[in-house]
Chains A and B, each alone.
Chain A
Amino acid sequence: DAGVIQSPRHEVTEMGQEVTLRCKPISGHDYLFWYRQTMMRGLELLIYFNNNVPIDDSGMPEDRFSAKMPNASFSTLKIQPSEPRDSAVYFCASSPLLDNDKNIQYFGAGTRLSVL
């Protein structure tokens, strides 16, 4: 398997524009996570899905953020409108229920978002 695939790798946009980040999880994984990484706050969980259903979105910072998982092989994180404080690296991760008796999350390479 190619692992978790995120696109784009880099995104530069202007304040007020809509941004859509994409993720393809590892085939067969039951869970999908969206994280945001910043120097000040580290890795923050935004939302996670189980079998395409959102389970916990308490980490989504505000209504400008939304996430969808229309099927088991695709998810999007959308920011509308974007603001400079949204600049960060966004990671998608997927996980089977248990992997050799371990709880393991497999991360993509991330999308570096810069909002000017």
Chain B
Amino acid sequence: QQQVKQSPQSLIVQKGGISIINCAYENTAFDYFPWYQQFPGKGPALLIAIRPDVSEKKEGRFTISFNKSAKQFSLHIMDSQPGDSATYFCAASIGWGYQKVTFGIGTKLQVIP
């Protein structure tokens, strides 16, 4: 059972455009939502994370929007660059410091010049 549903699985965006990746979860006990970025041949690395007590978190060109009532959250990449081309995973976990993280299936983003 896929507890974190992610879409789309692939995305092509032109340089300078906005990349949007959406995730939905089922377990209302989830209270920590990280996003990981994975470049080819590398392991995933934490990009940005949010807790459900805020509706938005921004770090540079990356923004997480969170809708607790809809059980949905999304990643927006503003002014997308070719260097952003990677696979992005949304994820969720329960509890402060609880280590088990459930990942979405991933979105392969390609930013074309």
How many residue pairs between the two chains, A and B, have CB atoms under 8 Å in the bound complex? 58
B-chain residues with CB within 8 Å of residue A41 when the two chains form the complex: 105
Known: A42-B105, A98-B96, A104-B34. 14 other contacts (CB 8 A): A4-B43, A42-B103, A43-B89, A102-B34, A102-B46, A103-B93, A103-B96, A103-B97, A103-B101, A104-B46, A105-B99, A106-B45, A107-B42, A110-B42
Main secondary structure of the interface of A (DSSP, over half): strand
Interface size class of B (residues with CB under 8 A): 20 to 34
Contact A107 B45 (CB under 8 A): yes
The reply to whether the CB of A72 lies closer than 8 angstroms to some CB of chain B is no
Could you tell me the distance between the alpha carbons of A93 and B44 in the complex, rounded to whole angstroms?
Answer: 9
B-chain residues with CB within 8 Å of residue A102 when the two chains form the complex: 34, 46, 49
A-chain residues with CB within 8 Å of residue B45 when the two chains form the complex: 106-107
